[in-house]
Amino acid sequence: MMNIRAVTLACALMLGGCFDAQQHVSVNEDGSIAVTVTAQTPRKFWDMMPAAQRAEIGCGPVEQTLRMRNGAPVRTYGRTTEAFQECHYEAVFSSPDDIPADLPIYVEKDDDGRLAITAGAFFGGKGETIGDWERMASAGKSYTIIIAGQVTQTTGEIAPDGLSAKRVIPMVDLWPSPQVLGLKTWIKDPTQSN
C-alpha cells in the first residue's frame, strides 16, 4: 500500500532534493480534510529515474488512485513539460481521525470553537545530515505549506484576503532538522454556521 511520506522521501532521495513542493490543507463544510501535495522537479532529474520507480509514485499522465496504508485513496497524476515534471497527490479524509498517523497533519478544536490545524512537511531529516552535493542540489528549492480557511491566527503569513496562511521552508532546512517543520493556523470552523 502507498505511503505518501515514503513516496515523497524516496523522490527526494532519488532526486537529491531537487524539487519544489507545495502542500495545501483545507477543511470542507462537511468536516472532511482535503490534502493536496504538488511537487515539481527539473525534467533532467526526472528522466534519470527508472521507469518502474516513476510508475510506483503515481506521477504519470494518466490519473490513478493509489491506497495509503490505512486504505485511504490518493488520486495521483502528473504533467510533463520540456523543463519539469509535476506530480500531484490529492486525498480527502472524512474526519481528522482518518488522517494516517504517519502524516504530520493535526486538527483540533480549541476552547473558542476555532480549528487549530498543524501541518508539517511530509518528510524530515529526523536528525540525518546531508552532504555538500545534497545541500547544493537543494539550494533555492522550497517546501510551501498552505492552510486554507478563514484565518484568525497563524505562525506563518496570512494572505491579504485572510482566507489562507502559508509558510515557505527552504528545502535545505528540512534535511538536518530533528523535527518536522511546519505551520500552525487557527481558522473559523467551516462546519459551524455564522
Number of domains in the chain: 1
Quick check: is 130 in a domain? yes
Quick check: is 139 in a domain? yes
Domain range for 179: 4-187
Per-residue pLDDT tens digits for 22-70:
999 999 999 999 999 898 888 887 888 788 877 777 787 889 998 887 7
Quick check: is 145 in a domain? yes
Q: How many Å apart are CA 100 and CA 178, to the nearest integer?
A: 21
Low-confidence ranges of the chain (pLDDT < 50): 1-16, 124-128, 178-179
pLDDT for position 180: 58
Q: How many Å apart are CA 105 and CA 114, to the nearest integer?
A: 16
Quick check: is 192 in a domain? no
pTM here is 0.80
pLDDT for position 137: 59
Quick check: is 194 in a domain? no
